[in-house]
Amino acid sequence: MATSGTYGFTMTRDDIIGAALRLTGAFGDQDVIPASDITNCAQALNILAKELATEGLPLWCVQDIAVPTVAGQAAYNLSTASGTTLPLRILDVYIRDSTGNDTQLTITSRYDYDTLGQKATQSVPNQCYYDPQLGAGSLVVYDVPADATRILHVVIQRQIQDFNLATDNPDFPQEAFRLLKWCLADEIALEYQAPPDVRQEIGIRAGMYRKNFFAFEQEQASVFFTPSERMR
């Protein structure tokens, strides 16, 4: 048996748009799709991609960013540090000292941070909270760093990149290509006046592919639950 030996299959933004439009019946495979329809569908695809970032935890969007501490500084701009517009959420934070030892910080809520006393105390940070404002995401640590000898390592979920050009490849793994095709078709089916039975079939299959993809896209590791000691 002869196989290709390659694993590089990909699609472009316009490949996905064309495939989704064909599912709705609006265009055939020999039709030239007008530029205005490409623009409209590209907008819908970007809206969809941004919303898909809220499904579960996209593992390919997880990254560890290093943020050097600054003596006397409590808040750190994660948008600047990560190079992304806005980290959607933080998953883990630990601080590394000059000898390479790591200590995990407790991630608290805004309320819990607000109720802490002596916020200007300088020491080694042991808690933090994330403030995801629209302009920039800020990590606030407690205690305030007393020196600049340590580095905060912040594990974040970054945003999914935009589709800007016709030739842009998806910021998704290959396993998501069918999901994108059918979910985009579901997004635009009503706008392109697909028959009700076609819209229903597209909606059912889009929902199934969405569920299956995010059920697979998760870490294969054990989970342990322990009681919290904070309220005792």
pLDDT in tens, 118-172: 999 999 999 999 999 887 899 999 999 999 999 999 999 999 999 999 999 999 9
Model's pTM, two decimal places? 0.86
What is the token pair recorded at 223? 């989970």
In which domain, by residue range, is 193 found? 13-53+160-207
Residue 102 makes CB contacts below 8 A (sequence gap 6+) with 94, 95, 96, 153
Pair (196, 135) in one structural domain:
no
Give the span between the Cα atoms of 27 and 9, in whole angstroms. 24
What's the burial of 184, exposed, middle or buried (CB within 10 Å: 0-12/13-18/19+)?
buried
pLDDT of residue 75: 95
pLDDT of residue 135: 78
Pair (147, 181) in one structural domain:
no
Pair (146, 181) in one structural domain:
no
Pair (144, 76) in one structural domain:
yes
Pair (114, 194) in one structural domain:
no
Give the span between the Cα atoms of 129 and 161, in whole angstroms. 25
For the chain, the average pLDDT equals 92
Pair (130, 198) in one structural domain:
no
